[in-house]
Amino acid sequence: MKEKFITVNKSNIRYLEEGQSDRNIILLHGLGGYAERWISLIPHLSKKYHIFAPDLIGYGQSDKPSVDYTLEFFTKFVFDFIEALGIKKTFMIGTSLGGQIAVECTATQGPIIEKTVLISPAGIMRKSTPTLDAYTMAALYPNQESVKNAYQMMIGPDKQVSDISIERFITNMSRPNAKMVFLSTLLGLKNAPDIFEKLERINVPTMIIWGKEDKLIPFEYSKQFVSSIKNCQFMPMEGCGHSPYVEDPEKLAEIIMKFFSK
């Protein structure tokens, strides 16, 4: 898996790349995330697809300009990133915040995106949950205890939280401007327009994947996404919380590749 950097609108953007196919997939991580959140899924997908997983602008090792981190800002970044890579057509997979960004991208620039997969996307839930509260506290006060607790709540009590993922989160949230970006993103999401109009404008084949044990964005919100998108398939994932790409990457990859190959 190759680590690369590219300049996008004067910002230095880090991304992971893997695969030799002429069929592309862009992976968009969630709030407070980074490219390595996909690291267990990428080896499966890269057997048949060319994978690009950026640290979204403001996150991970990508630059963190002092701007308002709105959905419009992230959407423009994603298309500028795709253009900088020279990609004309791509599949897109987004999780949580990345799923909400993928909705915006697919609703506004459908011709570039062939199919979209949304994994527990944000955008409908208007009140917090105890898991989201714990995750926010971990981002603002990153230490071993707070981060492990938040990740454990996200995946469930019976699963092992990776020490490496804890260390990566602490390192990334301790970078200059990281907390500013996190808070600005939260504010941008709070003030974002209603998502339903965007969902109704999605015309490309779309799949919603949701962990049935999701405690961060509860499973109940999946119904509103599925009913609002034309040509939408729904795949609940048994025994998974908010992060099926970490919890059951092999099964998730199987579902995604079957959908993309049709």
Ordered DSSP codes for 57-80: TTSTTS---SS---HHHHHHHHHH
Strand, coil or helix: 206? strand
d(CA 38, CA 43): 9
From first to last of its 262 residues, the chain has per-residue pLDDT tens of 899 999 999 999 999 999 999 999 999 999 999 999 999 999 999 999 999 999 999 999 999 999 999 999 999 999 999 999 999 999 999 999 999 999 999 998 768 999 999 999 999 998 899 999 999 999 999 999 999 999 999 998 888 999 999 999 999 999 999 999 999 999 999 888 889 999 999 999 999 999 999 999 999 999 999 999 998 999 999 999 999 999 999 999 999 999 999 8
d(CA 249, CA 39): 9
Question: Which CA distances in Å does 246 have to 66, 77, 157, 207?
Answer: 31, 25, 14, 19
Ordered DSSP codes for the chain: -EEEEEEETTEEEEEEEE---SSEEEEE--TT--GGGGTTTHHHHTTTSEEEEE--TTSTTS---SS---HHHHHHHHHHHHHHHT-SSEEEEEETHHHHHHHHHHHH-GGGEEEEEEES--SS--S--HHHHHHHHHHHS--HHHHHHHHHHHH-TTSPPPHHHHHHHHHHHTSTTHHHHHHHHHHHHHTPPPSHHHHHT--S-EEEEEETT-TTTTGGGHHHHHHHSTTEEEEEETT--S-HHHHSHHHHHHHHHHHHH-
Q: pTM score, two decimals?
A: 0.97
Domains and their CATH numbers in the chain: 2-125+192-261 (3.40.50.1820)
pLDDT (tens digit per residue) in 159-181: 899 999 999 999 999 999 999 99
Nearest to 168 by CA among 183, 147, 149: 147
| Residue with token string 């640290």 | 55
Beta bridge partners of 51: 18, 25
Phi then psi for 250, rounded to 5 degrees? -65, -45
